[in-house]
Structures are given as C-alpha cells and as structure tokens.
Amino acid sequence: MEKKKIVIVGAGYAGILVAKKLARKFKKNDEIDITIIDKNPFHAMLTELHEVAANRVDEDSIRVSLSKVFAGRKVDVRLDTITSFDFEGKKAIGKMDTYEYDYLVLCAGSKPTFFGTPGAEEHAFRLWSYDDAIAIRHHLINLFRRACRIADKEERKALLSIYVVGAGFTGVEMAGELAEYLPIICDKFEIDRDDVTVGVIDILDRTVPNLPPELSVKVERRLKKMGVKTLLGTNVVAIGPDFIETKKDDVTTKHIASTVIWGAGVESADITGEAAKVLESAARNRIKIDPYLRSIDNQDVFVIGDNMLYIPEGEERPVPQVVENCEHSASTAAKNIECTITGKGEMEKYKPSFHGFMVCIGGRYGVARVGTPNAMINLPSFLAMFAKHMINLIYFTQVLGWNKVWSYMRHEFFTIRDRRSFVGGHFSNRTPSFLLVPLRIWLGAVWLYEGILKAMEGWFNTPMLTGFFGGARTWYNMILNPGTDEWSGATGEAEAVTDAVTAATGAAAEGGGEVAASMGTAIINWDFLGLFQTILVSGKELAESTLSDLAFKLNVPLIDWFIDTLILPNDSIQIVMQSSIVILEIVIGLALIGGLFTFPAAGVSLILQFMFVSTTGLYLGTFWMIFAGIAVLIGGGRTFGLDYYALPALKKGWKKLGWVRKLYIYND
C-alpha cells in the first residue's frame, strides 16, 4: 500500500482524541504517517479556564503536554501555526513548514466573536485560551493591589467595577467563579466587598439558554446570592477603557467599568476562516459537512469539533459546539478515515447522542440536566458537581491516563484552598507532613519487634499455622456457639487460642487463659449473604471489658477454603508462608523507620493487617496500626526519611522508560 499521510490541524478536544484513536488503529501499519499541528506545545482545558482566571486552581491544572500525550505513539507532534491551505495540492501551509497530506482533519477550535461591538476587541479581556485565563488572573490581582492604595471610596469602587459580557456557559461560569473569589481577595487586600461590582450582561432574557428555564432560574438566584447583578435583555453597544455602554428598551446606559471580560458568542478559529473561503461554510465560518464528517466540497477533508456545521438526520438544529460533540465526532472521523484508507468495513454516519449540559457557579455550586435524549433529569447541586468532575476524569483517562487523573484530583481536591470545592476543604492536605514522622517510626518499630519476636519463636523452622488458625477459630466458635462440643478441651487450648488472636500484632490479651474458659460475649455476628461474616466479640463480660478484650474478625469463606485446602495440609507450605510473614514484618519495620519506600511499605502493612483480620482476627487494641498505615501511605517518607532522596532519583529514571510514558503510569 502506498504510504498515506494524515494531517490534523488543532490539538484541542477533538484533535487530541482523533489523533490517539488513529494511532491506535494504525499502530501496526508503518505505511501511515500521522501528524498533529498546533501553535501551542500543550492542550488546554478550555472548559476550566474560569478556574484559573479566578485563582481557584493552578495554571498547570488546565495544561496537558502534547509530547506526554503522544509519548510512545506514532504521532508526529509539530509546533507550528497553519496560515492557509492548498486544497488542490493537498497541503497545509504553516509559518514554519508546509505539510503534505492525503487526508486532512480540520479541528482548529474556535474563538470569541464580538458582533461588531465598538471597542470590544480593543478593551475587553477574552476568556478563550490558556493565555487569556492567565492574563485575567494577573489583572485581577494587580487590580486589587492598586485599589487597596486608593483612599477615595468612589474612586476605589470605580476601579473595582467588573462586568462579564455573555450569560451563556462561559459568562456565567466566569461570573460565578469571580464572585466566589471576591471575599478571599478582598480579605487579602483589606477591601470592603461592597466596594466591588460584578455584573453579567446579555441580550438574552435568561441565563444559559441550553438549560431548561427552571435551571436558568436557579443559576440567576445563585448569582444574586453571590452578589452578582444580572442585566438580561440588555445589549452591549460599546466598550471603552473605563466604561461599558448598554441598551435596553431603547434606553442607553453608560456604566463605569474598569474591567470587562467578554464571554459572548463563538466563531471558528482564524485558520478555519481561511478554509471557509474555499470550502462551503455558513455563519461564523463553520464548515458544512456530509454525514461522514467530510467537507461537502472535498472528501479528503474531515471537519470535526467546533469547526463542523452539521444537522443530524431528524434534528432541526446543528450539533452544538460542546466537548461531547468533539469526543463523538473524533471517534466517527477516526473510524471513517480507517475505512477509507484500508477499504475495509463500512463508513458510519455521524449520529451523536448528547447526554446533557451542566454549568458551575463557582467551585461549590452547579446545575445540570443529564441523561439520554429521551429521558433527561435535573440534578441537584452536589450531584451536578460530582457529575462534572467525573466527566472530566473520564476525559483525562482517555487523554493522559493516570498521570492527568491524579494531577486533576490533586488540584481540585487535595490542594484546594479556601474550601472552593463542592466537598469543601475536607480532602485538602493541611496537616504538615513532619507531624507524621513519630507515627511512622513507631509503626515501623512495632512491625520490626513483631517480626523479630516471631523469628525467635521459631517461625522459620516449625509449622505453627495449624494451631495458630485453629485456636482462633475455636475461640470465636466457643463464644458464638456456647455449649457446643467445641467446648471439650477448651481450657487446655486456652493458651493457644489467646496466642492465635494476639500474635498477629502482639496485642496483650489480659487474662488470656481466662478468655477461653469464661467463654466471653458475642457483640456482633452479621452474615452477608454467605459472602463474608463480621464478628465482634469480647473475652469477658461486656461490662468488664477493656479495648484489649474486644476482638474483631472478618470471616471470608473463600479465604478459609484457601487456607484449609492449600496451606495447612502441607508443613513445607506453612513454613514458607510463616517465613514470608516474618520477613515482610521486618522489612516493613525497617522501611517505615527509615522512611524508605514508605508507600509500598504502608500498603503491604495494610495487606498484612487485612490478612490477620480475615484469619485470626485482631484485638481492637491493635487497630491503631491500620489507621497509622493509612495515615503514612501518601508522602509519609518525604520528611526526615530516605524517600526525600530516593524517590526523586527513581522517579526521574522511571519516567524515561518508554512503556511507562506510553501508559502514563507516572506522576508529574
């Protein structure tokens, strides 16, 4: 087969996904070249720009490196700006190079449209790119830094007059994020919140018209509660360096405005506008396409994402310029390009099924209407925000796997400040990590002590598990089933029983011999459909019990079968398992004390604790070890530990492995 070249212009939502899907389809075909071209070396999460603009998350949270996305994949990433096309010669012409193609995928994204409003392009901030968000963020901080020096109240209020044009998704989310940020930045610069004006202006009669009216009412109510004034049914007729002029019912009003953020209207990017001069298009330079996502003028040009103008069969309106359309169209385009090149299979018509819309008003509140086209429901705020984050995580899983999923969770939950999350600040890590050092060392010392003690008791050379497990079972059964035949010889087994329940972590059972003999008390005995059984007992009467008398066991029949069938019948296997436990306990202890490989050490510690809970059970006096293992699991060895030196070096080498980069199994 003659070598084919696929050129993708734009690395936005649609461009990244179509490139990855094509790379997967042709990963074993060396006759296919795939090139993706963008003016930035990164992909920006445009739907999250407002979070950076209003200083809720770091700028890194919305930036995804293209070299990382396509690491280990047969995709040539080119940093260039395409300025024109030669459709007859099949060339995309950039500032740096010219790119020949057999198939072109046009997905260059969009930009705001100013509708010819005088002064808008010169004086308003855009919110349509990574750079726009950074510019607004720095502008707001500098604005308040200047305002705090102004003694005259009216002059200060004039400087702090901010308006957002557009009450759609972009405008409402920016206004909500800004309103949530104001109390924080006002407190920082000691400015009265009443000195700040935030308004949203739109010619439409309600906010976010993609949502049903009842949700628009909720959005407007929330904005009002946050101190945002909404000017609906109002047209913006001019913008100046310190004012915005509006018109409603033939009445023109001039508002003082030092800052105007434009979030109204959208049109295709400049390069798509160049293509629209040759290819048939409609308003705002959206390219008309056929059902297979090809330009109706040129079947070698596929158009997806925001650049496409397509009305699906049975629909009345074109597909919306939303992320879900980018995802769906990328999948269909990749499939159809594969069919075209290989001649195998049938091309599929684009039949998107959209699952709703959602809008966030700050980090704590949102509204959503989701479901299937024939069954949509409105979600309450908490579920709307949960859905929003889950959708982002699903997208990041497709784009950069674990690497970006963990990064997103860290930015949105684990390092969030000022409780700017729908779960508040409950997951945010505020405790200094050095406070965990004593806990980590003590946990390690206990494990080390237990391992050495077992070694001295002969765990390396004498089978002990039959009595170890059997004694524990006898004790629990005597308490749960008093008066059964298992009572015979119970007194003689008392010491073995006590040892079995305590030896896992060395908890001292007071009056061990009396525990078995006095039968004890059953507190909880719940059986869950025969899958597992939770047991909580005391070795004494409940009124006389201390924490060291209470024992908990999670009885799992499958684990019991495994032990009875594969381990206990064979002394050699018992010794191997015993030796493994002793070695693990000693290694875990040393690792935790030294703070080396703390994450795997704490993880294995938790696994051992689960094993003990599900075999012999544990006295509650030793349960602290479970919670300590959880506490030191993440980052516990980075302070006064060897992980401080070892992990950066290992991480550096780990990230260089090709298969690691390809699978994204590393953290930045």
The pLDDT, as a whole number, for residue 484 is 58
The pLDDT, as a whole number, for residue 537 is 92
The pLDDT, as a whole number, for residue 1 is 60
pLDDT at 244 over 90: yes
pLDDT at 505 over 80: no
The pLDDT, as a whole number, for residue 530 is 84
Let me know the angle formed at the C-alpha of 172 by 215 and 404, rounded to the nearest 5 degrees. 100
Q: What is the pLDDT of residues 170-185, one digit of tens each?
A: 999 999 999 999 999 9
With pLDDT > 70 as the criterion, what percentage of the chain qualifies? 94
Helical axes 465-480 vs 571-594, angle rounded to 10°: 90
The pLDDT, as a whole number, for residue 510 is 40
The pLDDT, as a whole number, for residue 435 is 87
Which residue's entry shows tokens 């060395």?
506
Confidence category of residue 480, pLDDT binned at 50, 70, 90: confident
Give me the phi and psi of 6, to 5 degrees please.
Answer: -110, 125
Q: What is the pLDDT of residues 12-51, one digit of tens each?
A: 999 999 999 999 999 999 999 999 999 999 999 999 999 9
444: alpha, beta or left? (left if phi > 0; alpha if psi -120 to 50): alpha
What average pLDDT does the segment 49-71 reach?
A: 95
Q: Which of 261, 248, 259 is nearest to 196 (CA)?
A: 259
What amino acid is encoded at 381 in this protein?
Answer: S
Structure tokens at 385: 């925000």
- Neighbouring CB atoms inside 10 A of 564's CB total 12
Q: Are 298 and 88 in contact (CB under 8 A)?
A: no
Measured CA distances, 403 to 21, 408, 410, 664 (Å): 19, 9, 11, 5
Confidence category of residue 668, pLDDT binned at 50, 70, 90: confident
Confidence category of residue 468, pLDDT binned at 50, 70, 90: confident
What average pLDDT does the segment 453-470 reach?
A: 90
Domains in the chain, start-ordered, CATH in brackets? 4-112+268-351 (3.50.50.100), 120-264 (3.50.50.100), 436-643 (no CATH)
The pLDDT, as a whole number, for residue 513 is 39
What average pLDDT does the segment 54-80 reach?
A: 95
Judging by beta carbons within 10 Å of its beta carbon (0-12, 13-18, 19+), is residue 178 exposed, middle or buried? buried
Confidence category of residue 431, pLDDT binned at 50, 70, 90: confident
Helix (H, G, I), strand (E, B) or coil at 641: coil
- Average pLDDT for the chain: 91
The pLDDT, as a whole number, for residue 635 is 83
Helix (H, G, I), strand (E, B) or coil at 193: helix
| Residues ≥6 apart with Cβ < 8 Å to 30 | none
Which residue's entry shows tokens 């401080």?
644
What average pLDDT does the segment 474-493 reach?
A: 64
What average pLDDT does the segment 241-268 reach?
A: 95
pLDDT at 273 over 50: yes
pLDDT at 472 over 90: no
Confidence category of residue 222, pLDDT binned at 50, 70, 90: very high
Q: What is the pLDDT of residues 394-408, one digit of tens each?
A: 999 999 999 999 999
Alpha-helix residue ranges (DSSP H) falling in 410-517 = 437-456, 465-480, 490-502, 512-517
Strand partners, 174: none
The pLDDT, as a whole number, for residue 261 is 98
What average pLDDT does the segment 70-86 reach?
A: 96
Confidence category of residue 349, pLDDT binned at 50, 70, 90: very high
What average pLDDT does the segment 363-375 reach?
A: 92
With pLDDT > 90 as the criterion, what percentage of the chain qualifies? 80
What average pLDDT does the segment 346-361 reach?
A: 93
Q: What is the pLDDT of residues 286-317, one digit of tens each?
A: 999 999 999 999 999 999 999 999 999 888 88
Confidence category of residue 515, pLDDT binned at 50, 70, 90: very low
